[in-house]
A and B are shown apart, each in its own frame.
Chain A
Amino acid sequence: MGALQVILQLLALLPDAIQTTEKVVAIVERVKALYASGTEPTDEDWDSLNATLASLKAELDADPPLTGV
């Protein structure tokens, strides 16, 4: 695999990698805030969180298309 090909592959993955990093950093900040405040979650908070986790689980369980970089 040539150096140019490797670089092009990495460049193609960069936006997704940055987006994932931003998401994870935001989650970590939310968790810190929860531990700092001790706020009781409401039913809506639980519903929203469970919907998010269900959506992520569906994405993890789905097989992406075989075509890649």
Chain B
Amino acid sequence: MREAQRFQFVSSDRRVREDRRFVAGQGRFAADIALPNTKHVALVTSPHPAARIVAVDKTSALAMPGTHYVLDGRELAEASLVLMAGLDTPNVPRRPLAAGVARYSGEWVAAVVADTRALAEDAAEQVYIDYEPLPHVLDAEVALSAGAPLVHPAHGSNVLLDRTFVWGDVERDFADSPHRLAFRVKWGRSSTIPLETFTVTASFDPWRDMLDVWASIQMPKFPDQIAVALKMPASSVRVHHDVDVGGSYGVKRGIKHAVLAGYLAKRLNMPIRLIEDRLENMRGGDAHGPERSFDVEIAFDAAGVIRSMKMRALDNMGAYCGRSALQLGKPIGAIVGPYRMRSVQYRAIAVTTNKTVQEAVRGFGQAPTNYAIERAIEEVAGRLSLDPIEVRRRNFIRAEEFPYTIPSGSAYDSGDYHAVVEKTLARSDYTALRAERDKWRARGLLAGIGIAACLEPSGGNASFEALLNPQNTTTTWMESCRIMIDTTGSITATVHTTSSGQGHETMVATVVGEVLEIDPDRIRIVRPDSLSSLPGNSPVGSRMAIMLGGAAFHAAQKLKARLIAIAAHDLGIPPERAVYRAGDVSDRADAKRLRGWQELVTIAHRNFHRLPPDTEPGLSVSHIMQVPTGGTLPTPDGRVHMYPCFAFEFHLLLLTIDPELGKPEIRRYFVGHDCGTVINPKIVRGMTLGGIAHGIGAALLEEFAYNEEGQLIAQSLMDYLLPSSHEVPVIEIVEHVTPSPHTVLGQKGSGESGYLGAPAAIANGINDALRPLGIKVDSLPIRIAALGDMIAAARDRNG
């Protein structure tokens, strides 16, 4: 097992350099891009969950003051190609504006361009659309059934994906197990709700044949997707990466927004800005998260050791599908969680309905699956009357078993789950915590301890793409970094994607500084535009510490090697005899013989005659990083190694419920977290705390609820309830470090931490509190009114 290292800058509690500008209100967001003559877009949306668009009457709208254009779906469909789909579903075309048929309430049907956003909204009210309502379907099980209305009749059914994987001898393991149980749980439709809604500014210069785009994105291959949809050469689309993004955690994909704005910018030859308002964002921003039901069967022995699992996951995609269905694929990379199971059967089903379209949400489908797995552990413990922590201990993969290959093909890199659990129990004083629970119970409250253990697969190679879509043969998901030293000796390193708050600047500066032994504060970080960028993807899948951090590390190593080579040549010594220290290189045999940083820089930039043979002048190095352990396609039976790293988290909380009100209150919250080497502790803690807050929302508050008429009824932040500081308790993080053997510093991902286990822990805590009443909650979010009703009914029954 790799030992934890000591570092000069890495892991020290340094300031996050990005925070300064955000705290001072000096971020530069897409909405801050102010081009002369910019026009503004408002959207006309469908009031029906399903309807044929018979006619679009633009006459009155075009007569409104300051109005320049009304774009309908038909015109855009004729001028552009459909948006990229994650699955091989050619008959489920997705476009920025509905063409011919609207398939969910709130879907964008027409776009109005005017001098200001307010004028555009005024004109949008004057676009008259003749609809012919069609039958709609909202529920995923109903959508599966025969005779259900078809969201896309040309596709032939509502099923986008229905694949069953069998890894290992599931039937034999079930037959051989003395105990079996089955349950169903549901994960409700919620999402991440960024403070900044999606924003894009697009400007076309016909004299340079260039479409410039500033957008609040977190989207892989964004420029290429715009170019393909608009039938332009990708070299004519320039996406500016140096805008700040005001929150995302997955959802800021914005491809339909950017294609729409790009088309209008080109068509009208005017800069176009589209800023979703909150209503457009919530209904038509195509940014809802998974809505998934699980049917789970577990086979286990008398000691509570699980042998096999069957899981059916049915996800309600909404009306169209970009990458969202792939969220059923990512959990395959950790389908057994942190547990040893011999075999697994997994059936993944994605269906279309007349709801808003899904997008990636923090964890890319892992959090719902972790919720199902953690419920399974609780069920086993309950069936055998065992302590749920003890059941977890008995099933955990042991520290000495890594690397550990799970039935679906992923090889977990490292971990010490038992140690993290023991550390967290010690910190929380678990015995005292149980006593506190019992004290609340004695006072007449319902009280429960919530537990969840789970993994955060990180650094992904996107193998789920190839696994779920045979047309897709992607086996790399690279990220890059370039380091340049100018003639004055200043250091600049590059990041080739946007940031949605991950702290890339701090992270890259820390890693480069560590390798070069130079204060990270002296290292400038910039983001070139997409046409000046090295290959990359984007900060998704908890990958940037691993991939961008890896690229920065390797680039810095190359730079260091270059400096050593130059100095050794100039000193007339073999490179092995040269000693690098903080930018200076000396002769090991005679420390006084030294070439300092500035002299080496001058040699590289100006003194070609002093450079080693075949050395490029100047000082610029770059590294394009392949995913560690990645690069292979899935086997025909659906096994694939999916992620290089697997971080571990263990949640432990105490909550109480006033039985007369049904309102849960989280009183204590501990989380043990092991994401390997931490590059910047403040960033990692921030991710974890935010993730738990998000998890509290998913467990208790946040839901995109619909009525039977197909209308989204949580249309504002008054009805879609985000946890505030009042709802988030003090959280104690218990840190542990098991370095990954596959990464440059031993780091693992942490961008999804907290969220991946918090909903499961809260649901388990509520069920522990409800246990004396003989009832359980089986779906998220757990509304207090529903809980109150359940408790009242149970108390009536029990007398």
Say if A and B assemble together. no
Chain A residues within CB distance 8 Å of chain B: none
B interface residues with partner A (beta carbon < 8 Å): none
